[in-house]
Amino acid sequence: MIEVEQVHKRIGSRDILQDISFTWRENRMYGIIGPNGAGKSTLLSLLSGVEPYQSGRIRLRGRPIEQYGRKELARWLAVLQQEALPKAAFTVREIVAMGRYPFQNWLGQEEEDAEELVDRALELVGLHGMESRRLNQLSGGERQRVALAKVIVQQPQLILLDEPTTYLDIGYQVQLLDTVRRLQKNEGLTVAAVLHDLNLAAQYCDELIVLQDGKIAASGTPEEVLTADLIRSVYGADPIVLRHPEHGVPQVLLRRGKDLE
């Protein structure tokens, strides 16, 4: 699905990403973690084709990403940003239907009626019955669910999530990631998510990439990656790593400073 080989990204005089290489398979959920400024969101921008890179190669489904037109790429790749949709006057249904743009002709028409797709997306994110409400009447969490429904109606095979839970309370965080994971498994999709919360990353992702100073510090399953030594080295924190009592994945507890004991 995705092959990244020796990719280098520079902004001004700063090397944001250096010699990044990995391969992602279909029907998996991947997490990109690391401290602030490590290059996580930049990597996602490169994978979406939004930003160019200086050297290396990115191939999507065997083709260099540069060979895709924007509309062609959008027919199977969708991005969910961390910011909730702005408080526009459009209705929920109107916003969700905009996800069909890659399949429309220059008159805004497509061969098949997309109303059933919109209905299904609204149902999946728990917005059925709210389709006539306007975005400026919704909370930030509800607007993020609208954004996810817009992604779903796009029918992508690859979904890129850029810190999608940053501004959500814990209830909405779990709800959103539950929906994404369920969709990924049921539809056989590939998902890549930039996440700050290591515990959520461990619970929802099959594999993780850890970025530090623009380089890959570690990669593998949550069990392989989320060790006390690695967290200490990458984040400068002194953690306690335990097993989740239900799922068995690693979960991270943080210690206070010794002078506060």
Is 241 within the bounds of a domain?
no
Number of domains in the chain: 1
Residues 6 or more apart from 15 whose CB is under 8 A from it? 8, 9, 214
**Token representation of residue 52:** 């160019």
> Which residue range is the domain that position 160 belongs to?
2-222
- Residue 23 domain-assigned (yes or no): yes
Residue 228 lies in a domain: no
Q: Is the confidence at residue 143, as pLDDT, over 90?
A: no
Whole-angstrom distance, CA of residue 74 vs CA of residue 18: 27
pLDDT, tens digit, 9 for 90 and up, residues 114-126: 788 899 999 988 8
Rounded to two decimals, what is the model's pTM? 0.91
Q: What sign for the dihedral angle of Cα 199, 201, 207, 211?
A: negative
Report the mean per-residue pLDDT for the chain.
Answer: 90
Taking each helix axis from N to C terminus, what angle separates 140-153 and 170-187, rounded to the nearest 10 degrees? 10
- The more confidently predicted of residues 32 and 117 is 32
pLDDT digits (tens, 9 = 90+) for 189-225: 999 999 999 999 999 999 999 999 999 999 999 999 9
Q: Which of 124, 127, 192 is nearest to 164 (CA)?
A: 192
The span from the CA of 57 to the CA of 48, in Å, is 13
Contact in structure between 24 and 30 (CB atoms under 8 Å): yes
Report the CATH number that the domain containing residue 26 is assigned in CATH: 3.40.50.300
Q: Is the pLDDT of residue 35 over 70?
A: yes
